[in-house]
Amino acid sequence: MLAAESLVNQMAAAEPWPENAAFYQPLRGEQILVSDAASCLAVQAFLRMCSLPVYVVYRPNAEQMSPSGKVPFIHVGNHVVSELGPIVQFVKAKGHCLSSSLDEQQKAEMKAYMELVNNVLLTAELYILWCDDTTCKEISRPRYGSPYPWPLNRLLAYQKQWEVRRKMKALSWASKTPEQVHDEVNQCLRALSLRLGSQSYFFGRQPTELDALVFGHLFTLLTTELSSDTLPELVRAYPNLADLCQRVERQYFREPGDETTVSTEGSTSSA
Amino acid sequence: MGNTKLIQKNKTNKILTTFRSQRKQSSSGVKTSPRESRHYIRGGGCPPRCILGRDPPPTTSMTPTSVSGFTGSPRAPPPCNMSAPMELQCWRGDWGLPSVEPGSLTVMAYAKFAGAPLKLQRTNNPWWTPTGSLPVFKSGKNVITQPLQILDHLRKQNFNADYGLSPKEGADTLAFIALVEQKLQPALTHAMWLDPVNYVELTRPWHGEAIPFPLNFVLPNRMHHAAEERLRQMRGGDADPMEEAVQSEIYAEAMDCLSLLSHTLGDKEYFFRDSPSTLDAVVLGHVAPLLLAPLPSAKLQQHLKGLDNLCRFCQRILAQYFPQDEQDGPRSKNHQRRQNEPAGSPSEGDHEPHKLRNQLLSLLVAVGAMVGYALFHGLVTIERVGGADTDADIPTEMYPDGGASDDDDGGDS
Amino acid sequence: MGSVHAKALEPIPMDGPEHHSAFHEGSMLDDPGVETKQEVLDNKQVLVQNVSIQGLERTKDDYIMHEISDVFNATSLVEVMQKSHEAREKMLRLGIFRHVEVLIDTAKGPGAQPDGLDINFEVVEMRRLTGSYNTMVGNNEGSMVLGLRLPNLFGRAEKLTFQFSYGTKETSYGLSFFKPQTGCFERNLSASVYKITGQFPWSSLRQTDRGVSLDLNFPLWKTRHCVRWEGAWRELGCLARTASFAVRQESGHSLKSSVSHTMVFDTRNASILPTQGLLLKVNQELAGYTGGDVKFLKEDFELQLNKKLLWDSVLSASLWGGMLMPIGDRPSSIADRYFLGGATTVRGFSMYSIGPQSEGDYLGGEAYWAAGLHLYTPLPFRPGHGGFGDLFHAHFFLNAGNLCNLNYEEGPRSQLARLADGLRWSYGAGILLRLGNIARLELNYCIPACVQPGDRICDGIQFGAGIRFL
């Protein structure tokens, strides 16, 4: 398997980054949820940091299309790669790497902090979305089911809720109180804030995939309306993290002419 | 029997012990009766670390909402909680490990590092626990099942192994724990519980032996399914952990994680500074079982054995902090013994108490039935005289095996 | 009592061993021992005086009355026998009796007339609950099928069936309730709830359907009609990570709510290997106007003509065709499109491996036609004639067909041209085996004669099993 994987990677390396590389995510307006939005934004930020152009395609069935069942995924040549970790590896095989200048110690730290973000922030987002009854009822379920007709919208939303709760149970998050979750998030944010310190990016002057991941999550938390303001408040309490978000957004998402990459091709199927 | 030996052994740490009991005068110093003291893990054979001598680091610019930070400034110990004895129900040790289960091992190691007086009860029985798994930590009314939350609790009780860490090191601790939990733990779970060869040849028979009689037919299977479910959910709903592609992904990630840990450790004795901290406990908890368990199918073990510094790290900590468990002897000896007496326990020390425990148990049941009968018919009435006495006695009576299995710790040394 | 010897047994159709036995166990025993009173009763006027049914427990009298009332109208003995035979067939068809035996006797008791007859039906009802269990082995999958049937649930031939299939990969189930109209079994209503999972390796597709359906069947003149509403939640997914992106794009959930109508005109004398007759089946389906997010109109037909030739050989010609028109701007789903090819349709091609494809995954088409010409003959030298050997036949075939997507903006002429353009055809010969009256097996040697790029052919020996054959 590993041999096969490396073969695929070699094949991937042989081809340059194609013009028609596509990035798939759920519908931006009415469907996407915080956790997915954060993951999508993180991958987008990463690709922009690598200056790899992609067409963004919005599909209501992006989640089901993804080989791992998680958004976002990219379709490059014959390859379909989902989630940040594998995408970073895939892009690295193509010769684009943000973390090549780091030494081994820093690489270890970067991976550790990325796991911290995934472990805490992503899980906390899922917890808020699907384990908090108010959010679940007012935001998560209606949005999740929005592309589907009745009664499929209800069915799928409840199915998703059941799945996430089962996952939370397996990860022993189900028994946590919202306060405990906020504490975990706060602890994670504090660790990130301490690691960042007064630097512009986590590892000096150049961004890495960790910056992309942190940006994806924090920027989404800051800009998304949830049923309670606790999470954005927690983020705002760490000014250097909020600054990082602004920095990344200014540098990579507000360039003139970047409208071409954020086209809304393919959103026709949302009917 | 083992009692006297233990006391002798503890003489070597006398300075440290007295040092600590001064510090916690309000708690263990007063409460500890000589009989109970043998249940406590004393700070093994560790070099005398001057915990008290070191000034707590200056409080950092953290927000006041900080919770149980790894760099936390020492808090005023809440006296009421301190009086409650802290006990940990966990899996027993084998293969030169004080406990074979990562969570139990992590907590035990941390308790050693922080000098927390933790009463161990190697119940080997997760049937009655709140989540159906071990370890379970009990202190007064607090019952905690998550290893990391147990560490948090200990830290709040002022048993802090992380005094010396800078805020950044505290942050790194959190991050690396996440790394271990996300990348190494799944592989460890897989190797122990889902790899068919390991499960059938090692994990299942081991647990079948360790778990008391009727439950040992049920629990290994239940734990196997729980492990599978946990892994499935960690990888996302669709991924079947038995699938080869998923499996190799899990192992590849774990190897990567081990290499990263090895790089981070470098030539240092511990991960941060010159004393063990939380991260050392967590890494030990996850790496040592992988290193020492005699897994028949051991891809990951091979990789780990190539990382010299990580292996030495584990051996060193085990030798320093759990010396009595080292004396189980080399693994080959263990194996032999297991083969010689397939139905018996792996070590001599365990063998005796098991018998004793079974006898005790049956005796208890008989006495319980008689007393119950007597109470029910009003032959005997009981008046409660005082709370203090019963409080102290209840735990030892409720877990008759706890004392016994601790005996073997002493007996081995 | 002396039995009657009837000369005119020939006109009564005797197909099937069950019916055959009726005559032996019935009144018309050819018993040479009792020849005291031999009379030719061919055209003798008789009167059916009493009809009694024995063995009814749960079945309601009023329901069964409708099935047998016709017997009273018989006026001659031959007619009595014919009608009672028909009544017996009707009763067996209800699926609520295990055995039905007919006894015809001269009328007895008070008020018995000299030309009076009593007809006595002896029936054994089915058990309240019947079960079946079987295992199936399919492509890389084994499954266990458990069936439960509650025939005659409320005493009027209602039926509740439950089928559960537990496979190594997928589970499916179906629960259906069937209610015929009293007095007209052909007019019936059935409702079902189901979950079906299917794996389609030719498309790298996995499909799970959960749905409810409501069927109304009724005869009209010489045709049978079925009006059906179906609501189905379809879940599509890729079978493997290597599935083509075109199939990946189809993944996800959809809800189809459709109304369909089927008309069948069937004068064939058997559904498997008929020797004469015509079958015409027209089906149309309209989805999207009763809910759901799938909108299309689907039309298809099936035509089969059979003609008996010399030496027991049969010439059979069939033509199938269909068209799917998506309504609105959403493209059609792979779950609704047509697939063609394989041993039951166009022989000489792999299963459903004709037409549009992407990276080796067949995507199906929105229009198709297929035609077949068969010559069925008995086996050479007729081994086992009159017995087991009659289940086997040899056949020579010529198949043709095409599957493609249409562009509805073009005129009908260019569409027809497109359907004629990418023609595939094949020919060959083989042996086939009739299994009961429902299925047939084929072992053919196929020679594909005209293929299109992208088709997967099956040159040489091809094995086929199925119910419906081109």
Predicted pLDDT of residue C230:
93
Q: Sign of dihedral through CA atoms C327, C333, C336, C340?
A: positive
Residue of A31, A65, A83, A146 to mutate for C, most C C-beta atoms under 10 A: A65
For chain B, list residues whose CB is within 8 angstroms of any CB belonging to chain A: 60, 62-63, 65-69, 131, 145-146, 167-168, 170-172, 174-176, 178-179, 181-183, 229-230, 232-234, 236-239, 244-245, 248, 252, 256-257, 260-261, 263-264, 266
Task: Please check the confidence at residue B379 and state whether its pLDDT lies above 50.
Answer: yes
Q: What is the mean pLDDT of residues C378-382?
A: 80
Residues of A with CB under 8 A from a CB of C: 59-61, 63-65, 67, 75, 78, 80, 148-150, 152, 155-156, 268-269, 271
Asked if A170 and B234 come within 8 Å (Cβ–Cβ), the reply is: yes
Candidates A1, A120, A163; nearest CB to B244: A1
Partners of chain B (3+ Cβ pairs below 8 A): A
Q: ∠C144-C150-C151 over CA atoms, to 5°?
A: 120
Among B311, B280, B77, B321, smallest CA distance to B165 is for B280
Band (A38; pLDDT cuts 50, 70, 90) = very high
Parallel/antiparallel/unpaired status of strands C439-450 and C460-466: antiparallel
Mean pLDDT of chain C: 82
Suggest the residue from C248, C250, C290, C333 to mutate for an interface test with chain A (most A CBs closer than 10 A): C248
* Three-point CA angle A109, A112, A115, nearest 5°: 150
Q: Which of A2, A166, A169 sits opposite B248 (nearest CB)?
A: A2
Q: Given an 8 Å threshold on Cβ–Cβ distance, is B179 in contact with A111? A: yes
Question: How much is the pLDDT for A255?
Answer: 62
On the question of pLDDT at C344 being above 90, the answer is no
Q: Are C105 and C84 in contact (CB under 8 A)?
A: no
Q: A60, C252: Cβ pair inside 8 Å?
A: yes
d(CA A264, CA C438): 53
Q: Could you give the percent of chain A with pLDDT greater than 90?
A: 38
As a whole number of angstroms, the distance between CA B324 and CA B318 comes to 9
Query: Tokens 């005129």 identify what position?
Result: C411
Q: Average pLDDT for residues C294-305, to the nearest whole number?
A: 93
C289 near A CB under 8 A? no
User: Is residue C21 pLDDT above 50, yes or no?
Assistant: no
Q: Which of A104, A119, A195 sits opposite B182 (nearest CB)?
A: A119
Highest mean pLDDT among A144-158, B112-126, B319-333, C159-173 belongs to A144-158
User: How close C285 comes to chain A (CA, Å)?
Assistant: 20
Q: Which of the residues A39, A66, A70, A109 would you substitute to probe the B interface, choosing the one with the greatest number of B C-beta atoms within 10 Å?
A: A109
| Nearest Cα residue to C404 out of C323, C347, C326, C334 | C323
Statement: residue B116 has pLDDT above 50: yes
- Cβ separation of B176 and A112 shorter than 8 Å? yes
Cα separation, B263 vs C54, in Å, equals: 90
ipTM for the complex shown = 0.85
Percent helix / strand / coil, chain A, rounded to 5: 60, 5, 30
Q: Which long-range contacts (CB under 8 A, 24 or more apart) does B52-55 make?
A: B52/B19, B52/B23, B54/B163, B54/B164
Q: To the nearest whole percent, how much of chain B has pLDDT over 90? A: 8
Q: Residue A186: closest CA among chain B residues belongs to which residue?
A: B66
- When CB atoms are compared, the residue of A59, A80, A148 closest to C293 is A148
For A77, name the nearest residue in chain C, comparing CA atoms only: C245
Cβ atoms of A113 and A212 within 8 Å: the answer is no
User: How confident is residue C463, by pLDDT bands cut at 50, 70 and 90?
Assistant: confident
Decide if B182 and A2 are in contact by the 8 Å CB cutoff. no
Of A65, A67, A269, which has the smallest distance from its Cβ to C330's Cβ? A269
Mean pLDDT along residues C453-469 = 85
Residues of C in contact with A155 (CB under 8 A): 233
Give the nearest chain B residue to A197 (CA atoms): B168
Question: What residue in A sits closest to B239 (Cα-Cα)?
Answer: A68
Q: Do A190 and B63 touch (CB under 8 A)?
A: yes
Classify residue B75 by its DSSP letter.
Answer: P
What does the mean pLDDT of chain B come to? 69
Identify the residue with better confidence: B284 or C12. Answer: B284
Q: What is the pLDDT of residue B280?
A: 92
Which pLDDT band, with edges at 50, 70 and 90, does B365 fall under? confident
For the residues B124-141, what does the mean pLDDT come to?
80
Residue B355 has a pLDDT of 60
Report the range of poorest mean pLDDT among B162-166, C220-224, C395-399.
Answer: B162-166
Name which residue leads in pLDDT, C59 or B357. Answer: C59
Report whether pLDDT(B397) > 60.
no
pLDDT at B333 over 50: no
Q: Which pLDDT tens digit goes with each residue over B258-274?
A: 999 998 888 888 888 88
pLDDT at B326: 41
CA distance to partner chain A, nearest, from residue B78 (Å): 20
Among C237, C456, C450, C249, residue whose Cα is nearest residue C340: C456
Rounded CA-CA distance A184/A169 in Å is 17
Q: Which amino acid is at C423?
A: L
* Residue at token pair 């075109």: C246
Helix (H) or strand (E) holding C460: strand C460-466
Task: Show the tokens assigned to C442.
Answer: 């084929």
Judged by CB atoms closer than 8 Å, whether chains meet at C330 and A65 is answered as no
Helix B14-23 / helix B2-11 crossing angle, nearest 10 deg = 90
CB pairs under 8 A between A and C: 43
**C397 vs C348: CA distance, rounded Å:** 11
| A264 min Cα distance to partner chain B (Å) | 29
- Rounded to the nearest integer, the mean pLDDT of chain A is 85
Picking from C28-37, C91-100, C108-117, C281-290, which range would have the lowest pLDDT averaged per residue? C28-37
Q: Is A237 in Cβ contact with B182 (below 8 Å)?
A: no
What's the rounded mean pLDDT across residues B1-28?
Answer: 37
Residues on chain A bordering chain B, Cβ-to-Cβ distance under 8 angstroms: 1-2, 68-70, 104-105, 107-109, 111-113, 115-116, 118-120, 163, 166-167, 169-172, 183, 186-188, 190-192, 194-195, 197, 237-238
Chain A neighbours, 3+ Cβ pairs < 8 A: B, C
Q: Which residue has the higher pLDDT, B290 or B58?
A: B290
With a CB-CB cutoff of 8 Å, which residues 41-80 of chain C face chain A? none
Across the interface, do A191 and B182 touch by the CB < 8 Å criterion? no
Contacts of C409 (CB under 8 A, 6+ apart): none
Distance of residue A170 Cα from the nearest chain B Cα, in angstroms: 5
Distance CA A90, CA A111 (A): 16
What is the reported pLDDT for A259?
Answer: 45
Residue A254 distance to chain C (closest CA, Å): 31
Res C212 pLDDT > 90: yes
**Chain A residue with the nearest C-alpha to that of C333:** A269
Q: For residue range A111-164, what is the model confidence (pLDDT) as tens digits?
A: 999 999 998 999 999 999 999 888 889 889 999 999 999 888 999 999 999 999
At residue B360 the predicted structure's pLDDT band, cuts being 50, 70 and 90, is confident
pLDDT at C445: 92
Burial B134-155 (b: 16+ CB within 10 A, else e): bbbbbbeeeebbbbbbbbbbbb
Partner-chain residue, chosen from B170, B178, B229, that has the shortest CB–CB distance to A120: B178
Average pLDDT over residues C191-219: 91
Q: Which of A123-132, A162-171, B123-132 has the lowest mean pLDDT?
A: B123-132
- Candidates A194, A217, A233, partner chain B, best to mutate (most B CBs within 10 A): A194
pLDDT score, position A268 = 35
Set of chain B residues whose Cβ sits within 8 Å of the Cβ of A111: 179, 256-257, 260
Q: Which of A178-187, C59-68, C251-260, C325-334 has the lowest mean pLDDT?
A: C59-68
Q: Which of residues 340-359 of C touch A (CB under 8 A)?
A: 359
- Quote the minimal CA–CA distance from A177 to chain B in Å: 14
